[in-house]
Every structure is written in C-alpha cells, then in structure tokens.
Structure 1
Amino acid sequence: MVPVQTSAKVELSDDYKGYELEYFCVPRHYEDSLECVLIPSGLIQDRIERLARDVAADLGREPFAALCVLKGGYKFLADLLEKIKQCYRFSSENSVPFSVDFIRLQSYKDDHSTGDVKVLGVDGLSFLQNKNVLVVEDIIDTGKTMKVLLEILEKQKPKSVKVASLFVKRTSSSSGLRPDYVGFEIPDRFIVGYALDYNEYFPCESCLCHQ
C-alpha cells in the first residue's frame, strides 16, 4: 500500500510497510537495527518543497522569525528555508527578510515529561514581539510539549505563530494539537533518519523505521 496524499498532509496508514532496505544505500552497520525505509529522501524533499510553497503563500511579503526546535529540527529547517527562499526568488525580484533562532525544550521530572517546559538556547523570547513566528519541529508525538511552547510564545505577543512539523505521529495519547504545516502523518512507530537520531546514530537522509 502506498502513502495516501491529502490536501493537508501525506498520510501513511497503520499497515504501511515502507520499502525494503535492499533497494536503498543504507550503511551496512545499521542494517541489523532497521526494519525498512519508511520514506525515501526524494519524497521528503518533494514534500518539503510543497510545504515551503504553502508557507510563502501564507506569509506573503512579510518578514518572519524562524524558531527551530533542536536537535532534530535543524535539517528540516535548513531545507525548508532554502526552498522558501527559492519560492520568493521565483515570484519576485525582492527577497523577504527573516531571522533564525534555535531553542531546545526540556520537560522533565524524574525522567518523566510533566508539561513543565523549560526553553533553552535563547536569552528570553521578547524579541518575538510583533513578529510573524514560524516554529520548525522535526516530529510531534503527543503534542503536549508543543502546546506548552505555544502558550509561552503567546505571552510574547507575536503578530502570528505558525508551526511546521515534518512528521506527526498518529497516537492514542495525542493532545489533539495539529501543526499548521504537516509533512507526513505516520503510524505510532519509532523512526530515525533525516536528523532524527537514536543515541547519535542513524544520520541518514531517508526516514527509517527502527526495530
């Protein structure tokens, strides 16, 4: 069964099996730890290009601040911004200014997430006041941490806040949060690749399903 594309996202069904590893160049020392290639690199890039078009169309010619959630979001951010810049170059002679900042979210108590989120990596968020903010995340699981982050951001009184997430897991523990821009909705499986790591391993371009 192949992914089913909708107007808002590409949805991978629960019984989606992905692609066999032998069809792709996966490092041999990873093969025993992987189940399949869930989403090939080319499909990821094509999907990001479409998300970039949607973001550029929504923002128009207005400047914006991109806020990247580390660690996994950095590669998605880089590819998304490059494609957004291409959209502006093709549609106008004038560029659109934007800034980039990086944050890390820490939610903890005895190694359990509590929803008590601490934002690391920037000296306050007051610089976001009256700005269009694009939050860039690699994957949203339950969405609880992102909901708290959005509450924190709203206190800074930005002009607007949009969330782009490359992956959203379909899980029974979801908070119901839906990003404004979704690359792929995936089953509740553990994935690696495309900067989503497991103990610093699996820096592959494709999205891989980890056993």
Structure 2
Amino acid sequence: MAGLSPSLLISDNWPGYSLDLFTYPQHYYGDLEYVLIPHGIIVDRTERLAKDIMQDIGDNDIVVLCVLKGGYKFCADLVEHIKNLSRNSERFISMKVDFVRLKSYHVNLVLLAFLWLKIATDLVLMVFVICLKTDYGFEIPDLFVVGYALDYNEHFRDLNHICVINDHGKAKYRV
C-alpha cells in the first residue's frame, strides 16, 4: 500500500501571495491580509489525493463523510476527482457520501466517534481522515484562514482561495 501523499507544508514564515495577483469578490476588499493558498494549488492537491486514494483502496468501496459546512467544497471536489478517475479506469469504485453538520470545535470529537462506530459495526478495511488542512492536505501555520468554504461568521465561503483575514475583516464581520 503506497499511502497518501504527505501534507504540503506551508512554513510559519511564508509571506503568502499579494491579493493584487488574484481576483476575489469586491465586497471583501480591505478585509483580507493575503492569499495563503491559491485555488489552483488547492485543485491540484485535491486531484493528487484522489489519485492516491484510488491507488490505495484497490477494489473496495468508499464511504465519504463530509463535515458541513466548511468541508463541503473540498469534499465535493475530492469526490468529483475520484468519480472521474473511476469512470476513466478499468475498475468501477462504488462511493457513498454522507453528511454531518458540526461546529468546528466539535469536529474532531464527533468525527473520531463516528469512525469508531463504523469500525465496530462494519468490516472496514481502511480509514483515511482527509481534511484540506491536515496530514494529507495542507499543513499551515496557526492563522485565521477563510475561503474555499471556510468561513468567519458565515462570510468568506465564496472565496476561491484560502486567505488570511485581517483585523478589519474580523471586526467588520464580528457577531
């Protein structure tokens, strides 16, 4: 088993990309510090993860648990890449997708509890916990990031890039 590619490490001293290099919704002008991860890099990394998953699962089916709301875009993109790879290969991979809606501070607790329940009740051959910002996606510094469905009080989900929010943006959208 080859295993999933390691995360793409973004170091603590990475200055990010200037906002002037990218397009983003005008209503967020003045609210962001910089682009941490451009959309194209997110797409490419997600496609690589899909290839790794397809290689590692063999002939097994896939059950995907999408954690809403922040994970919907990454999950949808990952599932679409896996489906495309399955359609264009000699083997068909059956995939079931389920959803759970959690507050960010409950994600780890509930996700691990769900996985243990699935392991205890089903014959599970492999379990991968894949998040955009973790061991197999991107390892980023301890920053407040928004975009690509990650929000701050329900704002910024419509950004294609992952960006660092500035103090003005935090104050503007504080509840």
TM more than 0.5:
yes
Larger mean CA deviation between 143-152 and 27-36 belongs to: 143-152
In structure 1, the partner of 2:171 is none
Structure 1 residues not aligned, in runs of 5+: 1-6, 108-112, 118-139, 169-178
- The residue that corresponds to 1:74 in the other structure is 72
In the TM superposition, 1:30-49 aligns within 5 A as 30-49=28-47
* 1:61–1:152 Cα change, 3 Å: closer
Is 1:195 equivalent to 2:160 in the alignment?
no
Deviation at 1:90, TM superposition (A): 2.8
Q: Over aligned residue pairs, what C-alpha RMSD do you find?
A: 2.1
Aligned to 1:156: 121
Note the C-alpha offset of 1:65: 1.2
* Structure that is richer in helix per residue: 2
- Structure 2 match to 1:4: none
**1:184 maps to what in 2?**
138
Tell me which amino acid in the other structure corresponds to 2:132.
L
Residues 74, 45 of structure 1: alpha-carbon distance in 2 compared, 3 angstrom cutoff: same
* Overall identity of the aligned pairs, in %: 45
Deviation of 1:150 after TM superposition, in Å, equals 3.5
Question: More relative contact order in 1 or in 2 (CA 8 Å, sep 6+)?
Answer: 2
Aligned position for 2:173: none
TM-score normalised to structure 2 length: 0.81
Change (3 A) 1:62 1:157: closer
- TM-score, normalised relative to structure 1: 0.68
Residue 102 and residue 145 in structure 1: after superposition, are their counterparts in 2 closer, same or farther (change >3 A)? closer
Question: Shift of residue 87 of structure 1?
Answer: 1.7
Amino acid at match of 2:130: A
Q: 1:19 aligns with which of 17, 20, 45?
A: 17
Letter of the 1:33 partner, please give it. D
Alignment length, in residue pairs? 160
